[in-house]
Amino acid sequence: MRVRNTDLNIRIGISGFSYEDWIGHVYPKGIHSGEMLPYYSGKLGFDIVELNYTYYTMPTVAGVAGLLDKVPEDFEFVAKAHSSMTNKIKGDDGSYLRDEASCEVFIAGLEPMIDSGRLKCVLAQFPMKFAREEGALEHLEWFAGKMGSVRLAFELRDKSWVTQSVFDKLRGLGVSYCVVDGPEISRLPPFMPVATSPLAYFRFHGRNRKWFGVPSHVRYNYLYSDEELRQFLSPIRKVASTAEETLVFFNNHFRGAAVKNALRLRELLETT
């Protein structure tokens, strides 16, 4: 959804939409899975979404075309890169693993979105084990080159990446740095609002300190308070003033907390 009453181009969405625990909290009881995306778009008023399922399952032309048919023509998507492209970092010999075939299959599956101009970008989320060390920047450069003309955002989950030299590298590649907010835990990157391409990207995970070794419904069980949301207003506006477009996604999805926070953040950005 677009933030109104401002000259800044800010859009807010959710990381995923097909959560069963949203039923009764966000979606009405009795809703079918095929009805969730139209409800997300029509009733809730969102015009963009992150597709998390593409991290676990390769997108297919038929499946992606089906999603496009469920929403208005101005609705756009971010696709999360498949795990085979980002999660398997090094082989036993210490060399970087580069699954070119997976990249090609992934892009081919997104073809309907790409051809229609409705793929906003691909979010490549790299694991904490991928730190800034010898060869790591070259691996990112390879990844960006392999994805061709598809716009990219990198979520780098080790705090060693939060440095000016990395931001400069991403600017040179034309890749967006994904600004994350999460719990204050060692190794996780701090909140660092910066834009490294014309597309600025924010991702809010919640601040539940039960992060490791727990299922996702525990990790992302967090509702930002108004006080916390207000602290984001200035950083988001500052970054948005330097970018052509700014995307803000909430990933604290348990029982629809992300939807509540997204709606409230838009209200605050429009009225505060």
In this prediction the pTM is 0.97
- Please count the structural domains in the chain: 1
Query: 236 near 10, Cβ under 8 Å?
Result: yes
CATH assignment at residue 156 = 3.20.20.410
Report the alpha-carbon angle 173-176-181, nearest 5.
Answer: 145
2 lies in some domain: no
How is 247-264 classified by DSSP, letter by letter?
A: EEEE---GGGHHHHHHHH
Q: Containing domain of residue 177, as a range? A: 10-271
* Measured CA angle at 236 (ends 235, 239), to 5 deg: 85
CB distance 53 to 82 below 8 Å: no
Task: Give pLDDT, residue 64.
Answer: 98
Q: Is residue 77 part of a domain?
A: yes
What are the tens digits of pLDDT across the range 243-263?
999 999 999 999 999 999 999
Give the confidence band of 3 by pLDDT, cuts at 50, 70, 90.
Answer: very high
- Give residue-wise pLDDT tens across range 88-143: 999 989 899 999 999 999 999 999 999 999 999 999 999 999 999 999 999 999 99
pLDDT digits 0-9 by tens, 176-222 = 999 999 999 888 999 999 999 999 999 999 999 998 889 888 999 99
Q: What percent of the chain has pLDDT over 70?
A: 100
Q: Say how far apart CA 37 and CA 64 lie, in whole Å.
A: 12
Residue 1 located in a structural domain: no
Non-local CB neighbours of 230 within 8 Å, separated by 6+ positions: 268, 272
What's the pLDDT at 187? 85
Q: What is the pLDDT of residue 81?
A: 98
Q: Is residue 15 part of a domain?
A: yes
At 15-43, the pLDDT tens digits run 999 999 999 999 999 999 999 999 999 99
Has residue 5 been placed in a domain?
A: no
* Chain-centroid distance, C-alpha 154: 9
Q: Specify if 4 maps to a domain.
A: no
